[in-house]
Structure formats: C-alpha cells, structure tokens
Amino acid sequence: MSHPILTEKCMDFDDVAWEQSDKRFDTWKKQKLLKRENLIAVGNLIDKWRGGVPDTLLTPGRGAFNVWVDVSGRKNPTRSFHNAFSRVPYLYPSAPYSSLWHDKGESRQLGPFIIMEYIDDDYDLVDALNTPGIPDDERPILDPQISEEQLMFAYGQMADIILQLSKHTFTEIGCIARANEDDDFDGLWVVKHRPLTLNMNELVQVGNFPPHLLPDRPFPTSSSYYQALADMHMAHLVTQRNDAVDSAEDCRKKCIARFLFRKLSREGRFCK
C-alpha cells in the first residue's frame, strides 16, 4: 500500500494578496511598459544590440523575478528580460542557456535588461516527468512508468548544473556581483548584496509578507542565514491574513513546526 508524500497540508497562498499583486503588475504594465515610447525603446534596443527592426512584439509576460517580452524580428527571435543576467556564464559555464549578446546595467526608459536568443520548446521538465493525467493545479508526481533513459537524460543535466554551482565558494551568503561593478571584464566575483530567493519573492507576492522584514544584507555564516529563515517563517504565519490556517489544530501544528525550526537553527543544528 502506497503512502502519501505529504502527511500535513501545506500553507496556502493568500488569494487576496495574490490578486493585489496581479493588479499592481497589470497597472504597471498598462501605465508603464505598454506605453508607446517604451515599446519603441524595446525595439530600439533590439536594433542596437542585435541588429534588425522587430516585426512583432508579443504581450509581455511575467516570470518569478523578471518581465519578459517575446520579439520576432528579421533575424532570430529574441527575448528581452528586465534583469541583469551577467552572472549566468560565471556560475554555469556550460549550462544550456541561450546565447547572450549584450548585458547592460541600466537603460533610462526600461531599467536593467538583457537580450537573449529565445529557444523554443515543446514542454518543460514537469511535463516530461509527471504522471500523465495529473491536473496542472495539483502536485506533480514522478511517472512510475517512466523509462530509465528519460530519467538519466533529465537528471543528468540537472546534476551537471549543480556540480558547476558546487565548484564556487564565497565567504558570505547573498547575491554575487563583480568586485568592480563598473568593469565588465573584471573576473573577480564576490557576494555584495542581500540574498533574494524564490521563497522570499513568493512570500511578498502571494503571502502578504512585509518587504521590510526581508534580509537587507548578506549573511556571514550558514547559521545566521538559517536563523533569519526561521524568523521569516514566524513572521509569515503572523502577517498572512487569509488562507493561512484551516483550524485551531492546524494553527498549533504550524506554530509548533516554526518554533522547533527556530530552536534548531539557534542551536546550530543545521550546520556543521
């Protein structure tokens, strides 16, 4: 008899906060990004750094951290991301990411951006590994009938990327940058900025988490990072206004789990 992967219910997103985040993005997109002069600026960037005036500019979309715009031109399609991306070749020297033509810190109309070749695809990793028939809104489960060749193909590529990441060592935990950020040819990379993980981004976007409670500087040790993570877990339970708990018992379980995590982090149990 098979057992469920999770025995307790995960904390749901705050649907009200999620809706408000979507409204803020839609407002910004309509009032800022979709303004005629900004769309022209996107086209001019493509022409300047890639060459060729775009024929088609599709409706901008949103990822976890970036806004992206699909642009079809007279040459290859390109994608413009509003986020500096220069660290990718350093972290993943042989990773299968699309070619980078230009990376610049600031653009007066658009802010940080990157222009990359758009690599078309038929499906993502979840589609390749998920059990057929599971709806998109449910937790994916590895297909029990999947072949060993498919598993080796998928996990081999992921293992290669993780191996490349593991080769880098830094004295702090946070976001990296060139030691001299004004020199695009500086090969020395150091931790300069606070960490910004996907979880932190999601807490603010769909968890009603106050942005000012996020870490504001790098962490000198793993222990200090885990303690900050424990504090964020506690603050999240307090600040999420909707869909946080289902009952008094559910609330107790979530509180106990967070107190235990904080206790272990303060005792240094998560680090050597």
pLDDT of residue 84: 42
Where in the chain are the domains? 15-117, 196-266
How much is the average pLDDT of 96-109?
53
Confirm if 93 and 133 have CB atoms less than 8 A apart. no
136-145, 207-216, 234-243: which range is least confident on average?
136-145
**Mean pLDDT, the chain, whole residue set:** 81
Q: What is the mean pLDDT of residues 90-105?
A: 54
The model's pTM is 0.74
DSSP state of 167: T
Least confident of 22-26, 85-89, 209-213, 252-256: 85-89
Q: How many CB atoms lie within 10 A of CB 40?
A: 12
Please report, rounded to a whole number, the percentage of residues in the chain having pLDDT higher than 90: 43
Q: Mind listing the pLDDT tens digit for each residue in 61-94?
A: 787 788 887 777 655 444 444 334 445 555 556 6
The SS3 of residue 172 is coil
User: Which pLDDT belongs to residue 77?
Assistant: 44
Written as six digits, the tokens of 119 are 């690599």
- Give 42 or 262, the one with higher predicted confidence: 262
Q: What share of the chain is helix, strand, coil (3-state, %, to 5)?
A: 40, 15, 45
Locus of tokens 């810190």: 105
Other C-beta atoms within 10 Å of 227: how many?
Answer: 18
The reply to whether CATH 3.30.200 applies to domain 15-117 is: yes
Q: What is the dihedral of CA 264, 270, 271, 272, to 10 degrees?
A: 90
pLDDT band at residue 3 using 50, 70 and 90 as cut-offs: very low
Q: 251: Cβ–Cβ under 8 A, 6 or more apart, which residues? A: 244, 245
